[in-house]
A and B are shown apart, each in its own frame.
Chain A
């Protein structure tokens, strides 16, 4: 199966991040690991791109974050741990409904039902 690259993921990244955070709070790398696991290694996202999406979600009140207590690794900086807010949960439900409708309609147009 062909990998799905960043430009195709861009419009859906925020909903995907919300879905990954539904499984529990996580830092950026852990979110990417969750996405990668669900996407069977076929999601090819430039990892830096995750953070602008997280900042947008945070500014919109859909996620909240705290710095971890201890710096990561021997020389590393601190990571931020993100979690879903109630607004984020509502937004995720809305995103799922929109996605289902999108797949249904476009699937019918191109003749490839999911």
Chain B
């Protein structure tokens, strides 16, 4: 199992997918992608962060798709099927995370709808986090 990027998400033995963020040990600010070391809160001088598993569910902030194959370094599937993207506001984490959407098209999505973190393969094999229908 190859992940398309190390340290940004994890897949448990039962297949459950988590985004890995960081929490500042001084002010509690959460960040994704993980910010190891410095905190981005301008009023915090914290330099220690802890890895945090972010909430797996959230509500759609917005969504779109890519009707034409995105340029490199994206590896587009052949034949190409539009990539659906959703920006999801994570429950209780105060941030919105963008991801591809698995098994749903723009016709299935609505702003405010609940989605759950899953994973799926890029066209050349490695796995990436994705948003999927809430179970």
A and B co-occur in one complex: no
